[in-house]
């Protein structure tokens, strides 16, 4: 039986403040590098726990759930093993994004195995 996870959820709609020390044209690359895709989400309970544990890693700016199947295919994530349902979690830093993959990839949560990878594929 999966361990019950407790977290203090951030207020819905809260957006983190991030200062970008790089040119505006590099913004998309940095957003992609800070975005983690979590796949294999089986149900609402697993989704809550995955996102709760993701928030324990660092500051989550935004969560997209469910992540559209078309986007999974566009980014080549389904070929890399990501299964539906999936979500995208945007962190405030690349370091937090990397830590999240290290903590959650292949972890058993509520009877399912989480698949996690950086959107750009670098992790």
pLDDT tens readout for residues 10-68: 433 334 444 444 455 556 667 888 999 999 999 999 999 999 999 999 999 999 999 99
Going by pLDDT thresholds of 50, 70 and 90, the confidence category of residue 79 is confident
Note whether 116 and 101 are within 8 A (CB).
yes
| Mean per-residue pLDDT of the chain | 81
| Preceding omega of 94 cis (within 30 degrees of 0) | no
The confidence score (pLDDT) of residue 26 equals 54
Residues 6+ apart with CB under 8 A from 85: 39, 40, 41, 42, 47, 65, 66, 67
Range 99-104 average pLDDT: 97
pTM: 0.78
């Amino acid at each position: 039986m999966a361990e019950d996870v407790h977290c203090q959820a951030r207020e819905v709609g809260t957006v983190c403040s991030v200062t970008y020390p790089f040119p505006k044209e590099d913004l998309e690359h940095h957003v992609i590098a800070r975005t983690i895709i979590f796949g294999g989400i089986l149900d609402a309970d697993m989704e809550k726990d995955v996102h709760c544990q993701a928030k324990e890693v660092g500051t989550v700016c935004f969560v997209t759930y469910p992540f559209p199947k078309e986007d999974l295919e566009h980014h080549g994530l389904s070929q890399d093993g990501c299964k539906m349902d999936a979500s995208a979690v945007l962190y405030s830093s690349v370091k937090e994004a990397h830590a999240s993959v290290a903590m959650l990839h292949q972890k058993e949560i509520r009877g399912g195995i989480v698949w996690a990878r950086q959107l750009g594929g670098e992790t």
